[in-house]
Chains A and B, each alone.
Chain A
Amino acid sequence: MKQPFPFSAIVGQDDMKLAMVLTAIDPSIAGVLVFGERGTGKSTAVRALAGLLPPIIAVKACPVNSADVKDCPAWCDVSDASVQSIATPVVDLPLGASEDRVTGALDIEKALTKGEKAFQPGLFAQANRGYLYIDEVNLLEDHIVDLLLDVAQSGENVVEREGLSIRHAARFVLVGSGNPEEGELRPQLMDRFGLSVDVLSSTDIDERIEVIKRRDAYENDHEAFIAHWQSEDATLRARIVAARAALADLQTPDSALRRVAELCIALGSDGLRGELTLLKAARAFAAFAGDAAVTDDHIRKTAVLALRHRLRRDPLDDSGSSSRVARKISEILGE
């Protein structure tokens, strides 16, 4: 199996890359929604993310990647407390996955061969403490969306079916990508994604040539290309780890809280979720930049990402929500 395309080697698309790095620093930001045209590197970026994330420590035998044997759910009967370092899980949720596959269901193998009623964990279990990636999220079946909404909110997967009664932790960063031409996303689901990015393919010829060049090198000169970019990825990973550590000591002055609130009120974004997410994103960004306190500058850089999908839709405004947010930002924060 070929190594995925390195994250650092992706040309341009800075917003998308920044959003993904921010969720890696603070997973409670809860996800990135990447909407854009075909062939803009959406899926490449998500697949590259897996190679970028720092590993996690998890109990070996635990199906939900618990950090400590105490956290393992009772039904999986883990007795071996040994832990190992595993890559942060990035789990694909394919369209058309069945409910059983997503939430987990009766383990048919055990039921048939041993006559035992056992639970077979699903994708939610696999994705715990990691990422759940949905390509073409706007085409996802309604009943799967319902499941997803509930679990993404509560961080717990509850299965009550076929005589099973199971619950386990399911905290993951949701990453969705899609092409808006093919269908819309329910506002409720949109809201579950912390950040949202609109990707456009670059109109800069040199940048586009660079993309083709790198892709060519990736295909034809694989080892050298990977070796070159892996060191860049390692630097970025080190920055993410450092930012995670710095997050605890980061100052959030009252003035920043006030700014965030003003901005959300001015934009009329629904609920407090936008405010919270913007604050978290600004904090993560400040930590990533190596600053000691959140400033207006950090808020300005992250506000579009955190708020653009939370505005009430105005079908008569052609300018799109990104520019509406940008307008308000310059009104409130100044240039």
Chain B
Amino acid sequence: MTRWERAQLAITLLAIDPQRLGGLVIRARAGPAQAVMLAAVQSLDIPTVKLQHHMTLEVLNGDIDLTASLASRRLVTRKSIFDCPSSLFVLPMAERCPPQFSARICQALEAGLGHGLIALDEGAEEGDCLPAALTDRLAFHVILEDVALQDLSSITLPSSLEKIRAEVLGVTLPAELREAAVILAASLGISSLRAPLLLVYAAQAHASLHARDAVTEEDLKVAVMLVYPHRATRLPQDPEPQVQPDEANPPEAPQDPTQAIPPNDLMIEAVKAVLPDGVLAQLQSTVKQPASGSGSGTRRKGNHRGRPLPARLGPKNSGARVDLVATLRAAIPWQTLRKSSNPKAIGPIFKASDLRHKRYEIQSDRLLIFTVDASGSAAVARLAEAKGAVELLLGEAYARRDHVALYAFRGAESEALLPPTRSLVQTKKRLAALPGGGATPLAAGLAAAFNLALQERRNGLTPTLVLLTDGRANVALDGSNDRVQAAMDALMLAGKIAEAQIPALVIDTTIRPEKTLQALAGKMRANYIALPRSDAKSVSGAVASALAQS
């Protein structure tokens, strides 16, 4: 089955049972493929409603229509856009859907009103995709990015939809196929229990499409191709459990249940047949970027606090505060005109278009955490240069009002020379007094910087790590002089830093670029700069430009 045929089938099945299947994600940039799919959706006998990101919360939740009420001087309420008979909602640019919006859509899908959603995912990059909470609830996911124009054909839906719909609920499901659905999900590493449910519904829809009153293996196989591939997080392995450390199943778990019952090969073949075109490569990288939750003190433009920005036209959401002065200012020029059309009115006459609302910008400060290697190996040649570079950077940080914290590591442990501060003088003093010599506890230095970064992030700062080292770690986290363990600990911490998405920069202070340090920077997802024989000026220049990029 080609991609386009799968897409056609997905639309057909969705038309049969939109309520239980939830919907469809179409991953494609705007173009003919998307247009043909949308045309098919429009031609259905289910009403379609377009959602837009700028829809206000009043529109989504239904509320008092303030402007209309003011204008008509009686209460005008407005129904929620979801408060309508069973419809298909079309969400363009779904990859940019903010979490608040998608949460509301999820609620609407589950409210039992029979709504379905067509999400148009126009993401350009791999990481750009719609909120996972939505993908999980929609049964199908079709990728039409590289479907050629000649493959496109118009989609014809079965004429007897009414009849099929009436029958779909009566389609029975043999118990062994239900089991197969669950086992297959487990062996593909799909942990959500919605997946097997959706699979069963899709199989039922497919069965009723072919006028069968019970689901057959063929139905299930087709449904598997549509529902499972994009959810898979791993491919089923041969019984030897030597690969794939699975995060969901810690090693001490009694036994991987997927190995106890071998999944049906036929089904796996079905998934594999769909998988290879590109999805396989992404399997390991499907970890989605965590969305920015506001519970943790992230930065954004808001309407409530922070530095005031110019007032904007119209209340964009109901949480906005009206800027009275700006509203008055907007209304005053029109007064003569309005008075002439309504001479009996007392006082200034306001229209909805006059309303201005307040906006504030919450600016988070950047915190540069310098972690300087002051060990013997580094000290000999480069400590002075590193100090000079840091000092230059401090000057720049001061100019930009960044916060700075300073850690040094040498001997057995790392030492906090300076907690986050903006004081330039103090930093310079501490830095100048920093002695060199001793072993290289790289892991301890990273751990200290990492903890500080997490802590300060919770306080609303945006931390950036700057690590200056020669990478020759020889003291492990537990203080033992074990080179291998030390390197492993450092790598482990680098992984943690990348996981926490803390931007970082690694400056290699060795004469010749150090391979292990490059690996470390890679693991940390940090920019790596090698500085063979450089002076303070060039370090500072490199850091400044790398920081500007990040």
Contacts and interface: CB of A to CB of B under 8 A. Distances in A.
Interface of A: 1-2, 37-41, 43, 92, 94-101, 108-109, 112-113, 135-143, 145, 179, 181-187, 189, 200-201, 203-205, 208-209, 211-213, 215-216, 219-220, 313, 315-316
Contacts of B454: 313, 315
22 contacts: A1-B112, A40-B191, A95-B99, A95-B104, A96-B104, A100-B318, A135-B103, A138-B295, A182-B133, A183-B99, A183-B292, A184-B293, A203-B253, A205-B179, A205-B257, A205-B260, A209-B179, A211-B193, A213-B178, A313-B454, A315-B450, A316-B496
Ordered nearest first, which 7 A-B pairs have the shortest CB separation? A183-B293, A39-B192, A96-B100, A39-B194, A98-B318, A184-B296, A95-B103
B91 interface: no
Contact of B75 (A109, A136, A183, A185): A109
B61 A94 contact: yes
Nearest to B319: A98
A267 to B, nearest CB: 19
Interface stretch (B120-128, B195-203, B323-331, B334-342): B195-203
B295 A208 contact: no
Contacts of B192: 37-40, 201
A53 to B, nearest CB: 21
B346 interface: no
Most chain B beta-carbon neighbours within 10 Å: one of A39, A184, A316: A39
Contacts of B261: 205
B447 A39 contact: no
Interface stretch (B181-189, B410-418, B539-547): B181-189
B107 interface: yes
A216 B288 contact: no
Nearest to B300: A142
Contact of A315 (B75, B133, B292, B451): B451
User: Do most interface residues of chain B lie in helix, strand or loop, or is the interface mixed?
Assistant: helix
A141 B57 CA distance: 14
Interface in B268-307: 288, 290-297, 302, 304-305
Interface stretch (B34-42, B66-74, B373-381, B434-442): B66-74
B196 A208 contact: yes
B194 A183 contact: no
Contact of A216 (B178, B185, B302): B178
A204 B257 contact: yes
Nearest to A108: B64
A108 B110 contact: no
B30 interface: no
A220 B107 contact: no
A139 B298 CA distance: 11
A94 B104 contact: yes
B6 interface: no
B153 interface: no
B173 interface: yes
A38 B131 CA distance: 12
Nearest to B192: A39
A208 B193 contact: yes
B191 A145 contact: no
Nearest to A47: B110
B197 A215 contact: yes
Contact of A137 (B66, B195, B295, B500): B295
Interface in B177-230: 178-179, 181-183, 185-186, 191-197, 200
B110 A95 contact: no
A316 B448 CA distance: 11
Most chain B beta-carbon neighbours within 10 Å: one of A96, A137, A184, A200: A96
Interface string B80-102: 00000000000000000001110
Nearest to A189: B295
A142 B297 contact: yes
A139 B293 contact: yes
B248 interface: yes
Given A95-B103, A181-B132, A203-B253, 4 more contacts: A38-B136, A39-B191, A40-B192, A182-B290
Contact of B200 (A39, A98, A216): A216
Nearest to A120: B64
Nearest to A102: B319
Given A38-B133, A212-B200, A220-B169, A183 B294 contact: yes
A99 B107 CA distance: 20
Given A2-B112, A98-B317, A184-B296, A203 B249 contact: yes
A43 B496 CA distance: 31
A112 B74 contact: yes
Contact of A212 (B197, B258, B319): B197
B20 interface: yes
Contacts of B305: 143
A112 B100 contact: no
B291 A183 contact: yes
A41 B197 CA distance: 13
A183 B295 contact: yes
A152 to B, nearest CB: 14
Contact of B73 (A39, A112, A205, A211): A112
A316 B200 contact: no
A181 B22 CA distance: 23
A205 B185 CA distance: 10
A40 B194 CA distance: 8
Nearest to A201: B191
Nearest to A187: B458
A324 B186 CA distance: 28
Contact of A108 (B75, B169, B182): B75
A200 B112 CA distance: 26
Contacts of A1: 112
A187 to B, nearest CB: 8
Contacts of B477: 316
A139 B69 contact: no
A205 to B, nearest CB: 5
A2 B114 CA distance: 12
B191 A37 contact: yes
B100 A95 contact: yes
A209 B184 CA distance: 11
B197 A205 contact: no
A187 B194 CA distance: 30
B99 A136 contact: yes
A74 B170 CA distance: 56
Given A94-B107, A183-B291, A183-B293, A216 B173 contact: yes
A43 B99 contact: no
A135 B107 contact: yes
Contact of A186 (B297, B450, B496): B297
B22 to A, nearest CB: 12
Most chain A beta-carbon neighbours within 10 Å: one of B63, B193, B317, B451: B193
Contact of A113 (B75, B317, B450): B75
B186 A182 contact: no
A142 B319 CA distance: 12
B201 to A, nearest CB: 9
Contacts of A95: 99-100, 103-104
B280 to A, nearest CB: 23
Given A112-B73, A203-B248, A185 B295 contact: yes
Contacts of A181: 132, 288, 290
B99 A315 contact: no
A190 to B, nearest CB: 9
